[in-house]
């Protein structure tokens, strides 16, 4: 029977201890937010370290669910994330498949141009003027259309299509009279499910956490997603704490948001919990598709 040596045991203990400390450092802030979200507001304002809600309550989440603005912002985030992720994966994968399988005139030059474009960040002012020209300012589609094509995802998909999809399967489909569209939906999608799950997760997280677009290109509060709404709430609270009591009750401060919904620290933590919950629920869904994609994509030659 094989046994660990004394040095291997010491290494295992040290390695496990370091991983446990690292996991605690990463997980405790999230746990602290969750605990405060279930804590009574006046008790949470006292400060200190919380391991469990001292005064457990669900009133913080009731305040959020009764605020139609927050609920509406949540569904805006769900819509933009769902449409943006699905559209980006579909369009980017079709472009990647075409570049990986079809000998197009100037294909290599096109790929070099894509690589060259990735070296530079787009300027904010030209990007804004472009959105104005396309009439996307204060429009829901400003969240979706600019991100429908990802150069990075395209290169990852192109490499995967070339290396993982058997050429024999594609050629047999062509002999049966199948075109590129049918081959894409019958072969490429089933074979690439693990890749789609991974890239879809990163794309969805990027869409969900994007507060910049709503803050700079959408002035209509009815079209702002939850991260932008939460960011504006935090900014409003920080600004209110720096001004006098008379200025805090001015018409401008009250007109943007409901003051009763943002004064409690526990309510703000509950809003953050609702913001991160959908991303946490995505992980088991993606894991299931990882296994399914591997089973569907297995081919014996």
Q: Are residues 165 and 26 in the same domain?
A: no
Count of the separate structural domains present in the chain:
2
Which residues lie below 8 Å from residue 49, measured CB to CB, with a gap of 6+?
32
Structural domain harbouring 47:
6-61
Do residue 206 and residue 74 come from a single domain? yes
Do 24 and 109 belong to one domain? no
What does the DSSP assignment read for 166-187?
A: -HHHHHHHHHTT--HHHHIIII
Same structural domain, 146 and 219: yes
Asked whether residue 15 is domain-assigned, the answer is yes
* Structural domain contains residue 10: yes
Global pTM value = 0.74
* pLDDT of the residue at 291: 57
The answer to whether residues 55 and 90 belong to one domain is no
pLDDT tens for the chain, 301 residues long, are 467 677 777 888 898 999 999 988 988 888 888 888 888 765 555 556 667 777 788 888 888 778 788 888 889 999 999 999 999 999 999 888 888 877 777 778 888 888 888 777 777 788 888 889 989 999 999 999 988 988 888 888 888 888 777 778 888 888 888 888 888 888 888 888 888 888 888 899 899 988 888 888 988 888 889 888 888 777 766 666 666 444 544 444 433 444 444 456 777 788 888 888 888 887 777 776 655 544 444 444 4
Identify whether 90 is part of a domain: yes
How open is the CA angle 160-165-170, to the nearest 5 degrees? Answer: 135
Would 135 be classed as within a structural domain? yes
Q: Among the residues of the chain, which ranges form H helices?
A: 6-37, 41-44, 59-65, 68-101, 107-118, 124-133, 151-164, 167-175, 180-183, 189-191, 193-209, 212-217, 226-240, 245-248, 251-256, 265-296
pLDDT score at 46: 52
Residues 160 and 101 in one domain: yes
Domain boundary among 39, 61, 83: 61
128 and 47, same domain (yes or no): no
Q: Are 246 and 276 in a shared domain?
A: yes
Q: Within a domain: residue 273? A: yes
What pLDDT score does 257 carry? 45
- The Cα–Cα gap between 239 and 235 comes to 6
Q: Is residue 1 part of a domain?
A: no
CA-nearest of 177, 172, 163 to 101 is: 163
What does the pLDDT read at residue 243? 63
Please check whether residues 47 and 176 belong to one and the same domain: no
- Select from 61, 79, 97 the last residue of a domain: 61
Residues 46 and 80 in one domain: no
pLDDT given at position 293: 47
Q: What are phi and psi of 56, to 5 degrees?
A: -65, 135
Say if 209 falls within a structural domain. Answer: yes
Angle between the 265-296 and 6-37 helix axes, to the nearest 10 degrees? Answer: 130
Residue 216 lies inside a defined structural domain of this protein: yes
Residues 18 and 166 grouped into a single domain: no
Question: Any idea of the CA torsion for 227, 212, 92, 119, to the nearest 10 degrees?
Answer: -140
Which CATH number do you get for residue 246?
Answer: 1.10.3720.10
What's the confidence (pLDDT) of residue 5? Answer: 77
Are the C-beta atoms of 275 and 227 separated by less than 8 Å?
A: yes
Q: 141 and 282 in one domain?
A: yes
Q: Residue 157: phi, psi to the nearest 5?
A: -65, -40
């Amino acid at each position: 029977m094989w046994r660990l040596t004394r040095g291997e045991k010491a290494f295992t203990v040290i390695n496990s201890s370091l991983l446990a400390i690292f996991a605690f450092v990463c997980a405790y802030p999230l746990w602290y937010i969750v605990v405060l979200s279930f804590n009574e507001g006046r008790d949470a304002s006292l400060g200190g370290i919380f391991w469990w809600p001292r005064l457990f309550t669900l009133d913080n989440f009731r305040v959020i669910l009764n605020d139609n603005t927050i609920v509406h912002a949540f569904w805006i985030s769900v819509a933009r994330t769902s449409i943006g992720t699905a559209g980006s994966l579909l369009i980017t994968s079709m472009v990647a498949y075409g570049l990986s399988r079809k000998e197009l005139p100037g294909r290599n030059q096109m790929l070099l141009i894509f690589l060259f474009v990735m070296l530079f960040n787009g300027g904010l002012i030209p990007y804004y003027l472009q959105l104005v020209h396309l009439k996307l300012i204060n429009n829901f589609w400003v969240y979706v259309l600019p991100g429908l094509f990802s150069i990075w995802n395209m290169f990852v998909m192109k490499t995967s299509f070339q290396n993982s999809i058997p050429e024999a399967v594609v050629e047999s489909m062509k002999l049966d009279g199948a075109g590129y569209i049918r081959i894409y939906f019958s072969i490429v999608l089933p074979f690439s499910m693990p890749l789609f799950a991974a890239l879809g997760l990163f794309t969805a997280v990027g869409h969900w956490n994007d507060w910049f677009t709503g803050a700079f290109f959408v002035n209509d509060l009815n079209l702002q997603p939850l991260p932008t709404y939460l960011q504006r709430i935090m900014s409003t609270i920080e600004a209110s704490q720096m001004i006098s009591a008379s200025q805090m009750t001015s018409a401008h401060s009250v007109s943007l948001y409901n003051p009763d919904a943002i004064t409690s620290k526990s309510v703000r933590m509950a809003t953050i919990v609702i913001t991160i919950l959908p991303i946490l629920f995505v992980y088991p869904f993606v894991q299931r598709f990882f296994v399914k994609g591997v089973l569907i994509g297995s081919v014996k030659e």
